[in-house]
Every structure is written in C-alpha cells, then in structure tokens.
Chain A
Amino acid sequence: MPVRDKFSWIRAPRKGGRASRVPLNISFRKFFAKIGKFQFSLASTRKAIAKIGQIRFTRRAVDNVIGVTGELLMTAGVFVLLFLGWHVWYNDIVSGIAQDNAGAALTEEWNTVPVAVPEFDRSQGTSSGIAVAIEPPVTPTGAAGDRFATMLVPRFGATFERAIAGGIDPKTVLNIRSAGIGHYSQTDDLGEIGNFAVAGHRTTYGAPFGNIGELRVGDRLYIETNAGWYVYRFRNLEYVWPNNTSVLKRVPESSAKAKGRILTLTSCHPKMSSAERVIAYSVFETFVPRERGAPAEVAAIKAGG
C-alpha cells in the first residue's frame, strides 16, 4: 500500500495486530490538510472504499457510535420541546407580566409628574363627571421605539396595561418586555382626526391582543398619555388578508374624508398563525384630562387590582 495516497488520513490497522482500541483511526490533521486538495475520481473513490473495508469496527465501537448518536438526537428532541414550551408559554407569560408592569410604571410616572396641561374646554363637561371633549389634545408619536401612551382594556383583564411605542418593528417594539404595542407611524397621531392604528401580538411575546376576539360591542378601550385618557368604544371585528393595508386608511376600507377618530388594532389570525389578520375597530368617545382624575372604570380597576 502506498504511504502517500489521497486517503492516508484513514489509517489501516496494523496487519496481524489486535483490533485497534480506536476503531475509526482518523488523523484529523491530515484529513483537514487533504480537504483543500481533494478531488473526486472513480479510482480515488474505489481506493477509499477499499481502505474503509480494512477498518476493523469492534462491536463496542459500533455500540458507542449508535449510543452517542441516539443520545444526541434525544437531547436535540428535548431541546426542541423545551424551546416550544418557552416560546408558547414561558416567554409569553413572563413578557405579559413584564409588559403590564412596564405600562403601569409609565402611567405611575405620568400620575406623579403631570407634564402637559391639555387644552380642554371645561364647558363641555357633563354632570356625570365624564368630560366630553370636542377637541382632545393631539399626542405626537415621537421617534420610533419611544413609548408615548399606554392602553388599558378592561375586557382584557384587570391588570392589562401595555405601553404603545412608535413603529411596528418586532425587535424594538412588539417583542420587547417594556412595550408590546406598536403604532403604525404612517397613520394619524393619537387625538387627530382620522385613524390611529396599532399592532400587537395575539400569541407569544406577552400577547397584548390575545383576547381581541373577546371584545364586545361597546367595550371601552382607554389610551392613557401624560395628558389624560382617550376613551374609545369597540365597534366591530374584521378579518382580512395580511396585505390589506386599506384597514389603515383614515376611514378604514374607504377613501371617504375622515371626520371622526378611529382606533384600529391589528393582530394575527388564527392564533399561532399569520395566515390572516384580525382587525378591531373602535370609535373615539371622549377625552378625560388627567387633572379630572381617571375615568370611573379605570379608577375602579386600579383600586381593585
């Protein structure tokens, strides 16, 4: 046998000697040195097969290879299951709690340090204590990733309070634990005439809109800023294809001139899929300035929770 052949990295066991303890006697140094110059040919392939034929696989070696392969596969399987559990439950729950806490911390900040005094016509207030503002202040979205508001939806649970940030980038807004809801920057600002559209996960990453399908006509959705509370009332759900951007129009699905203020939530549908989108429309009802205190429903939830 020629010493310097293409397959010298596969060492044949000594003739007449006992079976090598290391059955696949491979010199990795030689192997990697060869790899660069390697060329396939029929002759070289035949030579390789002939050489592999000379390797003596002991029973124990074969058992070891099968055993280690099996252990690796089982470990991989366990990690796939662990990942699924993490993705669908653990991270969802942990992110949800973190997002609620982040939203609550944000509103707490606004409570203790009221910044902007809204331009609000007190003469428009009603005797029931709910102020009816004709012109709510406009809250600019600000830079991408900046949190400028929180959303409270009693239907989504007593602790539900998620921050809304600028833009719908998953990595900096939708997937993170300090926000969760993102504002489509091409849509109107909060308080402006037109459509204020936001996106949020329906499953995983805290799932801000996990219960979007539970909304009932007339449910109140509160968007809180440092100026006060924008109160919307849920109107209807719509199911659309993922590329249907006309839900973001100033009057959704229409080219009519905007006269009112719409809140549009978008999320994925069905759950755990991105085949379709579920859209929830709400219409603006009123604005409650911070100096008036929280709306009754919000105050009750905060006192109870």
Chain B
Amino acid sequence: MYAALWKILPGSRWIKILQVVVLAVIVLSVAVEWVFPWVASTFIQPETSVEP
C-alpha cells in the first residue's frame, strides 16, 4: 500500500518526501477536525450528570 503510494508519487526522493509530509498533515488535520470529534461524540459518552 505505502510502497504503491511511493511509486505513484512523482519526482525525486526529496520531492516525494515533501508530498508524503503534506499528505500526512492533511490526513491528520481532517482526523483532528472532523473524524475524532465525531467518533468521540458518537461512541464515547463520559457521563457527568446524575439521571434517573
């Protein structure tokens, strides 16, 4: 999978590394901004209130 990604990316080694870093930053920010909050609010509900 990652080997295929490495093959697909154009350019020299350093250009590829730059692209991988940019991709990683994009994936991480999408996760932090949207995916993680959704997962937390959907699957984890720390209860703080007393309810019958």
Contact = CB atoms under 8 A, between A and B. Distances in A.
A and B bind: yes
User: A interface, by DSSP: helix, strand, loop or mixed?
Assistant: mixed
B52 interface: yes
B12 interface: no
Contact of B36 (A83, A170, A175, A274): A83
Interface string B1-38: 11100000000000000000000000010011000110
A267 interface: yes
Contacts of B2: 71
A201 B52 contact: no
Contact of B51 (A87, A174, A209, A242): A242
B18 to A, nearest CB: 21
A274 B50 contact: no
A143 to B, nearest CB: 19
A243 B51 contact: yes
Nearest to B40: A87
A172 to B, nearest CB: 11
Interface of A: 67-68, 71-72, 79, 82-83, 86-87, 90-91, 168, 170-171, 174-175, 182, 184, 199-205, 209, 240, 242-245, 247-248, 266-268, 272, 274, 277, 279
